[in-house]
Chains A and B, each alone.
Chain A
Amino acid sequence: MSGVNTAGWRPSMNSTEGVATGPVTASGDRALMLEEPLIFELDGEGKWGVDIDACERPMASALAKFARKAAPALPGLTEPEVVRHYTRLSRQNYGIDLGPFPLGSCTMKHNPRLNEKMARLPGFADVHPLQPQKTVEGALEVIEQLADWLITLTGMASVAMSPKAGAHGELCGLLCIRAALDARGETRDIVLVPESAHGTNPATAAFAGFKVQTIPATPEGRVDVAALKEKLGPDVAGVMITNPNTCGLFEPELKDIADAVHAAGGYVYCDGANFNAIVGRVRPGDLGVDAMHINLHKTFSTPHGGGGPGAGPVVLSEALAPFAPLPFVTRGADGSIHLVEEENRGEGHDRAFGRMVAFHGQMGMFTRALAYILSHGADGLRQVAEDAVLNANYVLRSLDDVLEAPFGASGPCMHEALFSDAGLPEGLSTLDIAKGLIDEGFHPMTVYFPLVVKGAMLIEPTETESKQGLDRFIASMRRLAERAKAGDESLHAAPFYAPRRRLDETRAARKPVLVWKGDQTEG
């Protein structure tokens, strides 16, 4: 007979009974759990991963006195080594592509790959910000089309596109308010901020030269409107309100607040971090908002990239529109697009408060966001908000019997469900649930925010999570809540199955080691 197994390889399923743990490996790796040294610890002597053409001339003599004595002490590696280093590192990361990422107030939704492809078209990726305008009309058109969508979706008058991220957008909005007050000859210097606000709000207000006064929250998790109105007066420049708020609730009295603020001569800044809950269903302009930043990396699906780059265009009301910073893209009555910079600010934008960035803002993100917006259209975006809210309420009602939902009785939530560790036994806390969730294969929710709820857990599933995915997440959360209630102390030691166990943050902060010095001898 043919095919006799001479190699002796026979698949088998040996019993693992009695084998508690696997062997310690010589490499330190465990199959697909791979360790990776620092790039400086790989052998980078005399190698490179980029071939560079030889020079034809010696260095200009005038440059010689400025020449570097020694090249930077950095290793070079060949392409296969570099690809392997970063690929191995990537596997120590959790991303949306791997599973649910229910980080409240961060809107970790799927990042469509069409967006990436569009941003990489040479006509967008390979154009210089200072090319003559007639060679970049398509790029300006992208900015203008996205601006138009943002204006229409929010019901506002204008938009400043250049801010680089959410907090930068907040700053832009407050500087517009400052400029508008200056134009009125007023020196109002107080900004009211609810205590539930994200920390960037008071930070930004202080940075823009305002004094911050805090507005308390009601027991239902909303802004105390009476307390806010009491503080209004001739010194109040405006309020900063997040809607939906950081407790995941809509502020139904925002219009009423806005009317009162306007009557008192102030402006309303809305933190648009949670716009995903209402996009296509509510226009902030209808609620009396004067300025609101839009995190393109949240609502409009541009990638978070492990911490930026973001993008934070700011929509503006009629009252603030004239002060938007340069550069500014406008469309003329004849449909032609104009780029207004310092040299031609007289052409319709002479009251701009200045400039916030070197060039046009996050163009690469504009292209991605526009691709996403065009994909969804007005109908799809509305469905985005509905599904985001539906998913959050589904999580809220599927867990509120095992975890404390501090505002669960207030009615439906918007796009995020808020829980606390109030019902857990002494000694087990939000942090333990979060770290336990890592072992379950999920990214933890936002923890200890908002500050108005002790031991807060803020869960934002987003609309790109399937029901099946949510059910798996809910099952894991229920199991963790049960383990915690049963006093399972092993949660303190979680995670067990991640690339690293809990890290010593105290040590990192006491004696900061911020750069590698492995090749330098002591002293």
Chain B
Amino acid sequence: MSVYYSEDHEWIEVEGDLGTVGITDYAQGQLGDITFVDLPEEGAEVAKGDSVAVVDSVKAASDVYTPVSGVIAAINEALADEPELVNTDAEVGGWLFRVTLSNPSELEELMDEAAYKTYVEGL
């Protein structure tokens, strides 16, 4: 099991061919209070870089891009009632969706935790 990060501040935790995607703690901090999360439909086919979810705060709506291609396997139903999970627990309980990877080699283009940390510090 390993975790990867994108430059758009998504994280993906991969186990076998299943990836769990969310936004990073840094990103939620930048957005402020999350008020609503619009999630994709299960079974939808997505390509790396597609805008598949939207995270709303009071004054902004931010697109979430999938860091990998595949099929949406699950969505985090808990966010419908508790969007604030993305604020309080961004990298565990505030996950957005699970995706069955169709091209695991795409992971190679992502950062590991240390690289992402350096990347964020440089912003």
Q: Mark B47-63, 1 if CB is under 8 A from A, else 0.
A: 00000000011110000
Nearest chain A CB to B79's CB is how many angstroms away?
11
- Nearest to B33 among chain A residues (CB) is A506
A509 contacts across to B, CB distance below 8 A: 35-36, 56, 58
Q: Tell me how many residues of A have a C-beta within 8 Å of chain B.
A: 5
Query: Does B10 belong to the interface (CB within 8 Å)?
Result: no
In the complex, the chain A residue whose C-beta lies closest to that of B58 is A505
Provide a sorted-by-A list of 15 A–B residue pairs whose CB atoms are within 8 angstroms: A448-B59, A505-B58, A506-B33, A506-B35, A506-B57, A506-B58, A509-B35, A509-B36, A509-B56, A509-B58, A510-B33, A510-B35, A510-B36, A510-B83, A510-B84
Q: Which residues of chain B have C-beta atoms less than 8 A from A510's C-beta?
A: 33, 35-36, 83-84
Whole-angstrom distance from the CB of A198 to the nearest CB of chain B?
A: 16
Q: Which residues of B contact A448 (CB under 8 A)?
A: 59
C-alpha spacing A331/B52, complex, angstroms: 53
A residues with a Cβ closer than 8 A to B are 448, 505-506, 509-510
| B43 vs chain A, min Cβ distance (A) | 28
Residues of A near B56 (CB, < 8 A) are 509
CB distance from B86 to the nearest CB of A (A): 11
Chain B residue nearest to A509 in the complex (CB): B35
In the docked arrangement, what's the CA distance between A382 and B35, Å?
47
Residues of A within 8 A of B83 (CB): 510
Is chain A's binding surface mostly helix, strand, loop or mixed? Answer: helix
A451 and B45 CA atoms in complex are apart in Å by 34
A119 to chain B, nearest CB (A): 36
Shortest C-beta distance, A451 to chain B (Å), equals: 11
Q: In the complex, A506→B86 CA distance in Å?
A: 14
User: CA–CA, A506 to B36, complex, Å?
Assistant: 10
Binary contact track B21-36/A, C-beta < 8 Å → 1, others 0: 0000000000001011
- Nearest Cβ in chain B — how far from A435, in angstroms? 15
Query: What's the Cα separation between A510 and B36 when bound, in Å?
Result: 6
Distance of A430 from chain B, by nearest CB (Å): 13
Q: Taking the nearest CB of chain A, how far is it from the CB of B27, in angstroms?
A: 17
In the bound complex, how far is the Cα of B59 from the Cα of A510, in angstroms? 13
A509 to B83, CA, bound (A): 11
A127 smallest CB distance to B (angstroms): 43
Docked complex Cα distance between A509 and B84 (Å) = 11
Tell me which residues across on chain B come within 8 A of A505, comparing CB atoms.
58
Question: Which residue on chain B has the smallest CB distance to residue A505?
Answer: B58
- Cα distance A235–B115 when bound, in Å? 41
In the assembly, what is the distance between CA of A509 and CA of B59, in Å? 10
> What is the distance, in angstroms, from A210's C-beta to the closest C-beta of chain B?
19
In the assembled complex, the CB of A505 is this many whole angstroms from the nearest CB of chain B, namely 5
A344–B56 alpha-carbon span in the complex (Å): 49
- The residue of chain A having its C-beta at the shortest distance from the C-beta of B87 within the complex is A506
**Closest Cβ neighbor of A506 among chain B residues:** B33
- Shortest Cβ distance from B97 into chain A, in angstroms? 20
Q: How far is the CA of A1 from the CA of B57 in the complex (A)?
A: 75
Contacts beyond the supplied A509-B35, A509-B58: 4 A-B pairs with Cβ under 8 Å: A509-B56, A510-B36, A510-B83, A510-B84
Q: How far is the CA of A448 from the CA of B58 in the complex (A)?
A: 14
- Cβ of B84 to closest chain A Cβ, rounded Å: 7
Residue of A nearest to B35 (CB): A509
Report the minimal beta-carbon distance from B19 to chain A, rounded to whole angstroms. Answer: 28
Q: Chain A residues near B84 (CB, 8 Å)?
A: 510
- The residue of chain B having its C-beta at the shortest distance from the C-beta of A448 within the complex is B59
CB distance from B57 to the nearest CB of A (A): 8
Specify which chain A residues have a CB less than 8 angstroms from the CB of B33 in the assembled complex: 506, 510
Q: What is the minimal beta-carbon distance from A140 to any residue of chain B, in angstroms? A: 44
A422 CB, min distance to chain B CBs, angstroms: 18
Nearest A residue to B32 via CB reads A506
Residue of A nearest to B83 (CB): A510
Provide the bound-state CA to CA distance between A140 and B9, in Å: 58
A510–B33 Cα distance when bound, in Å, is 9
A505 to B35, CA, bound (A): 9
Closest Cβ of chain A: how far from B39's Cβ, in Å? 16
- A506: B residues at CB distance < 8 A: 33, 35, 57-58
**B58 contacts across to A, CB distance below 8 A:** 505-506, 509
C-alpha gap A394/B33 in the complex (Å)? 39
CA distance A90 to B36 in the complex (A): 32
Expressed in whole angstroms, the Cα–Cα distance for A509 and B57 within the complex equals 8
Closest Cβ of chain B to A446, distance in Å, is 14
Most central of B35, B36, B57, B84 by chain A CB within 10 Å? B35
CA distance A448 to B60 in the complex (A): 12
Question: Would you list the 8 A-B pairs with minimal beta carbon distance, nearest first?
Answer: A509-B35, A506-B33, A505-B58, A510-B35, A509-B58, A506-B58, A506-B35, A510-B83
CA distance A505 to B34 in the complex (A): 11
CA distance A509 to B58 in the complex (A): 7
Residue-by-residue, is B71-87 near A (CB-CB < 8 Å gives 1, otherwise 0)?
00000000000011000
Distance from B40 Cβ to chain A, minimum over Cβ atoms (Å): 21
Least CB distance, A434 to chain B, in whole angstroms: 14
